[in-house]
């Protein structure tokens, strides 16, 4: 049951940028009342296919909406705002979520708020950890960025020069015949690995480059090196690269908090490496709760509250999806 005071806001948020379709309801008191998500997975050895993912999303969308209503006993008429992930992401899946959001906003005659997916990852992590002005390491399928907030915008201090960390793990997993998304399976196999295989470590300033590492790891797999050892070595090298870049940014930005968010933030080995850096620099490590680390409706619903409270909304006619939307171009009035 949703308990709200007279001046509280209720936002229904829809996530639909990549593999996950999700709907959540958040209140302006920072409650996530319900958060239901369904992730498109593929068979061993296959990655994400945008049209198939869109098909999955349009099949689960009405079922999830129904579950959301049943679980909260909340009449749709009590919802004040609809938020949706308007980018970045895959065109076909973005359009699936946006269509549902527009239909709900029209039907209920309430405002529509477009949310940048990455900002959603940061805000949901901030809500649950209490991080105030952290250096953020955003590690997901779509992003590998080291950022800090300053004068109205998220500023990029380091990022990947090619593929993301999530992509590196997922593509290697696919090559090795593991299911998609592959990060969790790689983490489990890595625990059984014992031998550190020599793989390319590429850090340029505060940036990392993962494509050479992917090619080299695939080559070793083809040569017959044990998968456990490769998963272990891939994690050690990829995470150490990003940890080095993050440490440098932590010193440059003089932040006393480090926040990690996004799907890969669930990884215990990455967490341990970053904990070590934080200890050395007297900083506090904040880790997004596992439940909210990967893509979810909650990140959109909660950021929808923040955005709407700060006057951001779009008319249905002018609402668009933005597959290549960069978050360092967005003015964030609530920070
Ligand atoms: P997101 O785009 O935020 O949903 O994050 C998805 C990414 O997180 C995918 O690349 C997954 O393989 C990755 N991921 C999920 N769990 C883990 C884990 N335990 N270790 C490493 N990567 C993970
Ligand atoms: Mg994401």
Cβ-based neighbours of 131, under 8 Å, separated by 6 or more: 125, 257, 259, 284, 286
Q: Burial letters for 188-225: b for 16+ Cβ neighbours within 10 Å, e otherwise? A: ebbeebeeebebeebbeebbbbbbebbebbeebbeeee
Q: Assess whether the C-beta atom of 269 lies below 6 angstroms from ligand 1.
A: no
DSSP H/E element including 84 = strand 81-87
Ligand 2 (ion): residues with CB under 5 Å are: 140, 295
Whole-number average pLDDT of the chain:
95
Residue 217 to residue 237: CA distance in whole angstroms:
11
Q: Give percent of the chain above pLDDT 90.
A: 91
Quick check: 131 pLDDT over 70? yes
Taking the domain 133-292, which CATH number applies?
A: 3.30.420.40
The reported pLDDT for the residue numbered 311 is 97
For residue 43, the model assigns a pLDDT of 67
With the most atoms of ligand 1 within 8 angstroms of its CB, the residue from 40, 87, 124, 169 to mutate is 169
pLDDT score, position 194: 95
Cα angle 57-165-167, degrees, rounded to a multiple of 5: 40
CATH 3.30.420.40 domain extents, the chain: 10-121+295-329, 133-292
Ligand 2 center to residue 331 CA distance, Å?
Answer: 20
Kindly give the number of the ligand 1 atom that is closest to the alpha carbon of 296: 4
Describe the strand order of the beta sheet including 284-287 as a list of residue ranges: 153-159, 144-150, 135-139, 257-261, 284-287
Q: Which of 183, 214, 261, 262 to mutate to test the pocket of ligand 1 (most atoms within 8 A of CB)?
A: 183
Q: What pLDDT score does 48 carry?
A: 76
Q: Fold for domain 10-121+295-329?
A: Nucleotidyltransferase; domain 5 (3.30.420)
Tell how far the Cα of 225 is from the centroid of ligand 2, in angstroms: 31
Query: Which is it for strands 153-159 and 112-116: parallel, antiparallel or unpaired?
Result: unpaired
Whole-number Å distance between alpha carbons of 219 and 296: 34
Atom of ligand 1 nearest to the CA of 18: 2
- What is the pLDDT, as a whole number, of residue 1? 47
In DSSP terms, 114 is beta-bridged to 84
Q: Is 169 in the pocket of ligand 1 (CB under 6 A)?
A: yes
Q: Which tokens hold the place of 221?
A: 């797999």
**What is the C-alpha separation between 294 and 61, in angstroms, rounded?**
18
C-alpha closest to that of 175 among 227, 139, 210? 227
pLDDT digits (tens, 9 = 90+) for 7-46: 799 999 999 999 999 999 999 999 999 999 999 987 666 6
For 49-76, write each residue's pLDDT tens digit. 889 999 999 999 999 999 999 999 888 9
Q: What is the mean pLDDT of residues 208-223?
A: 98
């Amino acid at each position: 049951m949703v308990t709200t005071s007279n001046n509280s806001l209720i936002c229904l948020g829809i996530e639909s940028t990549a593999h996950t379709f999700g709907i959540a309801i958040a209140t302006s008191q920072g409650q996530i009342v319900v958060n239901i998500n369904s992730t498109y997975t593929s068979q061993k050895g296959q990655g994400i296919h945008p049209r198939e993912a869109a098909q999955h999303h349009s099949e689960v969308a009405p079922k999830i909406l129904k579950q959301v209503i049943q679980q909260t006993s909340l009449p749709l008429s009590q919802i004040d705002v609809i938020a949706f992930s308007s980018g970045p992401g895959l065109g076909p899946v973005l359009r699936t979520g946006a269509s549902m959001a527009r239909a709900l906003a029209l039907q209920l005659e309430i405002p529509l708020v477009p949310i940048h997916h990455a900002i959603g990852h940061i805000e949901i992590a901030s809500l649950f950890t209490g991080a105030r002005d952290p250096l953020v390491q955003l590690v997901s399928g779509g992003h590998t960025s080291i950022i800090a907030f300053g004068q109205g915008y998220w500023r990029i201090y380091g990022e990947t020069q090619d593929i993301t960390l999530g992509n590196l793990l997922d593509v290697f997993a696919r090559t090795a015949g593991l299911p998609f998304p592959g990060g969790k399976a790689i983490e489990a196999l890595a625990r059984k690995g014992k031998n550190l295989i020599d793989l390319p470590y590429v850090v340029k300033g505060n940036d990392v480059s993962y494509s050479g590492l992917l090619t080299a790891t695939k080559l070793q797999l083809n040569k017959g090196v044990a998968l456990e050892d490769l998963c272990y070595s891939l994690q050690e090298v990829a995470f150490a690269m990003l940890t080095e870049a993050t440490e440098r940014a932590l010193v440059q930005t003089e932040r006393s908090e480090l926040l990690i968010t996004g799907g890969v933030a669930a990884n215990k080995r990455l967490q341990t490496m970053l904990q070590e850096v934080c200890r050395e620099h007297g900083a506090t490590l904040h880790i997004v709760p596992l439940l909210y680390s990967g893509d979810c409706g909650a990140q959109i619903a909660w950021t929808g509250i923040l955005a709407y409270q700060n006057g951001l909304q779009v008319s249905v006619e002018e609402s668009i999806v933005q597959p290549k939307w960069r978050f360092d171009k967005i003015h964030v009035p609530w920070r």
